[in-house]
Amino acid sequence: MSSLRVAVVGAGLSGLICARDLQQAGHFVQVFDKGRGVSGRMSTRRVIEPELQFDHGAQYFTARDGDFRKQVEEWTAQGVVAVWEGPFGTLTGGETGPAPTNDPRYVGTPGMNAICRDLAGGLNVRCSARVVQLVPNGGRWQVEVEDLAAGTSEVLSDGFDHVVVAIPPAQAADLLPKESSLQEKVGEAKMAPCIGLMAAFQSQVELELNGVFVQENPIRWMARDSSKPERNSGVERWVMHATPEWSQEHIDESPEQLVPQLLDAFSEAVGGNVPGTIYEAAHRWLYAIPENPFSQGGFIDEQLKLTICGDWCHDARVEGAFLSGRAAVREILG
């Protein structure tokens, strides 16, 4: 196959894996992302004052597929990934129980975004660049990009042979041409929201677990973020994720409304007596959890030379995002 020019929209794990594999196969790839940095839902939030960090999106991942296990072994050898020892368990009305599985749980080091930052290191990536339109031109694609930092817009007239859209389905629907066969798939896909809380406490929270699956509470997951490997453990830091149902019900509320409710839910989950906070912030992930992942990997519109990928195309895990990005490459290269 002759060398292709490929545009990848989205610098989360799926988009970056797709871009890396295409570049390694000898093709030119340009990645665009509207965020100030790469990683998508694997981002790490950094706070300047006080100096803190939180994995406020994806918390950890497991590795079951052979290809993904091989990649995780490489990342581990490079110091990009490490095993998070926990301990893990469940919490119901203040009573602890065993974790659902004993699979090794991995995290990026020193933050979850280390994985995507490592992948992006050898790629052409433009951040703060929102792709607002894909324009067909003589069998190729021109890409209209809004520079969010400069407040300007431009149409890249060089043209691309293929475009990969690796963003949530609701956003992809707005970008894909109406006549594309991929519109049916993005229309069927459903993503649930997730409201998260990041909190740093004055002293240690008295709980024997570091990663907790919470039952009968607005919070479904909470983690002692400061317990993960290569983190600053000097400040007690927790991340809590609300259930999809609670998140949907409260999605339009302000951070000022969300924070006290989730702190109360956290206190209830651990049985009260929670120390005071030195920092707290809420974050709303509008498209967090695939509700009906397609278990296929990726989808291609052969006629228009468009491909879509993401965890929602495969399964709702970090591993699913990786496998979807790799599947997109197979679709493109045949």
What pairs with residue 298 in β-bridges?
Answer: 309
pLDDT tier at 2 (50, 70, 90 boundaries)?
confident
Average pLDDT over the chain reads 96
Cis upstream peptide for 260 (omega within 30°): no
Q: Which two tokens stand for residue 300?
A: 């291609």
pLDDT tier at 73 (50, 70, 90 boundaries)?
very high
Query: Residue 273: its pLDDT value, please?
Result: 84
Q: Which two tokens stand for residue 25?
A: 């196969």
Mean pLDDT of 28-55: 96
Q: What is the pLDDT of residues 273-320, one digit of tens each?
A: 899 999 999 999 999 999 999 999 999 999 999 999 999 999 999 999
Q: Is 194 within 8 Å of 273 (Cβ atoms)?
A: no
Q: What is the pLDDT of residues 195-249, one digit of tens each?
A: 999 999 999 999 999 999 999 999 999 999 999 999 988 999 999 999 999 999 9
Where are the CATH 3.50.50.60 domain residues in the chain? 1-44+113-189+294-334
Locus of tokens 């939180």: 54
Q: Is 35 within 8 Å of 116 (Cβ atoms)?
A: no
pLDDT tier at 138 (50, 70, 90 boundaries)?
confident
Where are the CATH 3.90.660.10 domain residues in the chain? 60-111+191-291
% of the chain residues with pLDDT over 90 = 93
Mean pLDDT of 46-61: 96
Cis upstream peptide for 229 (omega within 30°): no
Query: Residue 299: its pLDDT value, please?
Result: 96
Q: Which two tokens stand for residue 161?
A: 């042979």
Q: Which two tokens stand for residue 81?
A: 């990934």
Residue 93 has pLDDT above 90, yes or no: no
What's the chain's length in residues?
A: 334
Query: Residue 266: its pLDDT value, please?
Result: 97
> CATH homologous superfamily of domain 1-44+113-189+294-334?
FAD/NAD(P)-binding domain (3.50.50.60)
pLDDT tier at 1 (50, 70, 90 boundaries)?
low
Residue 310: left (phi > 0), alpha (psi -120 to 50), or beta? left
pLDDT tier at 101 (50, 70, 90 boundaries)?
confident
At residue 3, what is the residue type? S
Residue 158 has pLDDT above 70, yes or no: yes
Q: Where are the alpha helices (DSSP H) in the chain?
A: 13-24, 66-78, 114-120, 169-175, 182-188, 244-250, 255-270, 318-333
Q: What is the pLDDT of residues 310-327, one digit of tens each?
A: 999 999 999 999 999 999
CATH class of 60-111+191-291: alpha beta
Nearest Cα to 105, choosing from 88, 119, 80? 88
Higher-confidence residue of 59 and 232: namely 59
Query: Residue 280: its pLDDT value, please?
Result: 97
